Amino acid sequence: MAEKKTTKSRCPVFKKCGACQMIDTPYETQLRKKHAHVAELLKPYCKVESFIGMESPEHYRCKVHAVFDHDRKGNPITGIYREGSHEVVPVDSCLLEDQKADAIIATIRGMLKSFKIKTFDEDNGYGLLRHVLIRIGKNTGEIMVVLVTVSPVFPSKNNFVKALRKDHPEITTIVLNVNDKQTSMILGDKEKPIYGPGFIYDICCGMKFKISPKSFYQVNPIQQEVLYKTAIEMADLSGDEVAMDCYSGVGTIGLIASPHVKEVISVELNKDAVKDAILNAKINEVKNITFYQNDATVFMQQMAESGDKVDLVFMDPPRSGSTPEFIRSLIALSPKKVVYISCSPDSLANDLKLITKGGYKVKRAVPVDMFPFTRGSEVVCLLTKEK
C-alpha cells in the first residue's frame, strides 16, 4: 500500500491552534468554497454575486491578542490558547496578524526578564502580566498597546514605557488594564493610560473613528471599507431618505451613510458604544444623526406603534443573527429597503426566511471576504418591500 504523503503546513502551529482552517488552501479555492457555501444557503432567495476577495490576504488583522505564560523553566512565552483549552501554544509570528503587532509582542516578551516582571500563572495565581492587546489604525498609523495585568502596580513602568518606545517609536499610546478576576475575558474593567491618550483613531470611508481598548471595530480594516461601501452603494440612496442604523455599535455605518441621506436614527444597547458613537459624530462634524441607547427591537416597536416612518433600515446583528421579535417589529415599521450586513451566512439564511414571509424580497447578496484563511464570511443583502 502506498504511503500517505504528509505535506508540511505553511504555519508551524496549524494543528494546535485551530484558528485558520484554510491556511494551506490556495486563496482562489478558499473563495470558491466559501461562495458555494453561501450560495447553497441563500439559494431559496436570490443568486449570490461573486465574492469580493483581498489582493493581499495575509497579515490583515489589526487587532492582535497574545496570552503571556511561561514554560517549565520559567521562561516567558506568548501565544494563543489551544482550541477549547487554557494551554498556551507559543506563537512568534502569525500569517493573519499585522507584522508590526507581532514584533511589539516579541519585544515585550524579551523585556520581561530584565524588568523582573513575571507572567501570570493561572494555577497558583502568582505573576503580573496576563495578556497584551495591540490595536492598529491601519489608515492613520496609530498604535495602541494594552498591558493586561492582575494588579494596578506595574514596577518601573516609566522605564518600561521608555524601553518599549525606544524599539517601537511608532507606538502612540500604552494602556494598563487590570483584570484580577478568574475569567476567560481578556480585558478587566479598570484601565488607565500610562503613555499617550489611551485611545487611537482610524479612518474608514473618509470618516474618523476613535478606538478605545474595548471599542468594537472590525479586525480587517481594508475589507471593512469594502463592506460598508458595498452596503451604501447597494442602498442606492437619493439623499432625502430617513435611515435607521440598528445594532449600531460605535456608529460606523450610520456615520458613513450620513452624507448620503437626510437623517440617520442610530440605535445601540451598549452604553459605552453609544458614548463613542456620539463622540465620533462630533469628530466628523455630522449633524444629521441621532443616537439612542435602547434595545433595537423595543425601539422599533415603539416607532411602528406611534406611526413613525423610515425609508431604509441598516442592520448588522451579532453572529447569532437577529431575533423573531426584532424581525416582527421591522416588518411592522415597514421600511421600503433593508440592508442586512451579516457575519454568519447560516443565521442570515434563518432571518431571511422570516423577513421574506413579511413581504420582503431579496434583491442582491454580495459576499465579502473579511476573514481570509478561515471559514468566516460576511454577506451584504438588499431586501425591498413588495408592492
For residue 108, with 0-12 CB atoms within 10 Å meaning exposed, 13-18 middle and 19 or more buried, which class applies? buried
Distance, CA of 384 to CA of 360 (rounded, Å): 5
CA distances from 78 to 12, 75, 260, 362 (A): 15, 10, 45, 46
Q: What DSSP letter does each residue of 197-217 carry, written as one string? A: SS-EEEEETTEEEEE-TT---
Identify which of 103, 86, 245 has the alpha carbon closest to the alpha carbon of residue 168. 103
The answer to whether 267 and 326 are in contact (CB under 8 A) is no
**Helix (H), strand (E) at residue 129:** strand 129-136
Residues 6+ apart with CB under 8 A from 31: 51, 53, 369
Distance, CA of 357 to CA of 340 (rounded, Å): 16
Residues 6+ apart with CB under 8 A from 321: 342, 344, 347, 348, 350, 351
Q: Is 205 a known active-site residue?
A: no
Q: Residue 213 is placed in which grid cell?
A: 481598548
- The catalytic position among 17, 62, 343, 381 is 343
Q: What is the CA radius of gyration of the chain?
A: 23
For residue 357, with 0-12 CB atoms within 10 Å meaning exposed, 13-18 middle and 19 or more buried, which class applies? exposed
141 conformational bin, left if phi > 0, alpha if psi -120 to 50, beta if neither: left
The number of CA neighbours under 13 Å toward the Cβ of 382 is: 17
Q: Any idea which residues carry the catalytic annotation? A: 343
